[in-house]
Amino acid sequence: MSLNIIILAAGKGRRMHSSLPKVMHKVGGSTMLEHVLIASKKLKPKTINVVINSKTDDIKKSFEQYDVNWYIQLKQNGTADAVKTVLPHLAINEKVLVLYADTPLIDHKLLEKFIKYMPKSDVKVLTVNLENPFGYGRIVREQAEEEIVAKIIEELEADHIQKNIKECNTGIIFSDSTTLKNLISKVDNKNSKKEYYLTDIVSIANKNNLLVVPLLAKESNSLLGVNDKIQLEKTEKIFQNNKRNHFLSQGVTMLDSQTVYFKGNVSIGEDVEIEQNVVFEGTVKIEDNVKIRANTNIKNTKISSGTEIKTFSIIEDSTIGSNCSIGPFARIRPNCKLEENVGIGNFVEVKATSIKKNTKANHLTYLGDTDIGENVNVGAGVITCNYDGVNKHKTIIKDNVFVGSDSQLIAPIVVEEGVTIAAGSTITDNSEKDSLLIARSRQQEKKNWKK
């Protein structure tokens, strides 16, 4: 029988005090819902079904790349009602795993173990021991030593004895579609919140002589739910520490790992050194022997082996070749491609530019919409003037060019191979190969000048 996953994401998240839907708040740079979708995909289910409320229909637009069936819970009448919106669309006796979009640290390996655990049971409940169980449904076992759940008591319905129970319900349930349909049809809303609790199927199952078993997870961090900004911060800290420990265990050197932040899909090679206050965002690949100095931000970028990113540099949506030197105080804007042994120095900004090997721009320069060849030297204060107020234009600088300091290249323009541009020149026309370009006013001297 095929696996179908139902992800509940219809909660309004009032305690977040935000106009943004709760499940769209981010942990580690990705929305909570996306974390759960990624874990779900790893289980290779037949379908992934997400239940949202009518006021969060825009969520669908953010996940067009995922193969997801979307369902709207018109009124927030409880978790049983949310699951009920999906069940009619599932085949008879299909396996069903119920997950929650506000548990972003969920581990797919734990879910695999949960699915395989006690295959002859009718309903399975994933549980966890919490030192502070406030707010969680408590697991009441038939007998303390038995692997059978008698019922789940929600916080508001629990008496003072039941509130002392440490074993808590995560909300994650595994059963089959037919069993769930039958059980949910018998759930009522006779409780303080007048909601249809999915947890009530446990006691109903017991009354119908069905076997309900718990799997007690060994650690709780991956199962933490997020209901407010305090829990969101706690979850973010856990996520970051998990990432830091992973990379430290893989041999990455961090001078102060607590100041290094991972906000996306990051891979790091061998013998990489990372200093303080570094942020990785999006899809980042760091190859071997890279040095990343303090106070840098790297987003959606590949950095090849042997390159050094110096302090206070920002790189985004670009590719950096091997043995390059970037910074300090450099900014590589989107759509840049640097080949090997390129030098981008302090206060240099590069945008939508390709630079071939052994080229240097070491000081106070702007290179935008430019193709630069090999062995080019770009002096201090050089500007490629790429924008005429309406359109962007291309500058092409071929191999072995020397651009003198404080020069402006007015695009569109082609600087041919071997050209030397004298310092302080404003270049407006294309040039011939191996020429010297001088475009500046001749100095005049007025002797004995008086103001």
Q: Is the pLDDT of residue 147 over 90?
A: no
* Tokens describing residue 55: 């006021």
Maximum distance among all alpha carbons in the chain?
A: 111
C-alpha–C-alpha distance, residues 297 and 316, integer Å: 8
* Residues in a beta bridge with 302: 285, 319
Q: Is the pLDDT of residue 259 over 90?
A: yes
Q: Is the pLDDT of residue 365 over 60?
A: yes
The arithmetic mean of pLDDT across residues 110-117, rounded, is 96
User: CB–CB of 351/368 below 8 Å?
Assistant: yes
Residue 236 exposed, middle or buried by CB count within 10 Å (0-12, 13-18, 19+): buried
Q: What is the pTM of this model?
A: 0.91
Q: Is the dihedral of CA 68, 73, 78, 83 positive or negative?
A: negative
Domains delineated in the chain: 3-223 (3.90.550.10), 229-437 (2.160.10.10)
* Tokens describing residue 29: 């740079």
- At residue 56, the pLDDT reads 81
273 Cβ partners below 8 Å, 6+ apart?
253, 255, 290, 291, 292
Which tens digits make up the pLDDT trace of 44-96? Answer: 999 999 999 988 878 998 999 999 999 999 888 999 999 999 999 999 999 99
Model confidence at 144, pLDDT cuts 50, 70, 90, reads low
Q: Are strands 402-403 and 253-254 parallel, antiparallel or unpaired?
A: unpaired
Radius of gyration over every alpha carbon of the chain, rounded to an integer in angstroms: 30
User: CB–CB of 307/301 below 8 Å?
Assistant: no
C-alpha–C-alpha distance, residues 10 and 85, integer Å: 11
Higher per-residue pLDDT: 246 or 193: 246
Identify the H or E element spanning 41.
helix 32-41
Select from 99, 112, 105, 93 the least CA-distant residue to 175: 93
The arithmetic mean of pLDDT across residues 358-379, rounded, is 98
- At residue 166, the pLDDT reads 93
User: CB–CB of 123/214 below 8 Å?
Assistant: no
User: CB–CB of 15/58 below 8 Å?
Assistant: no
Residue 25 among the catalytic residues: no
**Catalytic residue among 89, 160, 246, 363, which?**
363
Residue 146 exposed, middle or buried by CB count within 10 Å (0-12, 13-18, 19+): exposed
**Crossing angle for the helix pair 108-116 and 32-41, to the nearest 10 degrees:** 50
Count the neighbouring beta carbons within 10 Å of the beta carbon of residue 330. Answer: 26
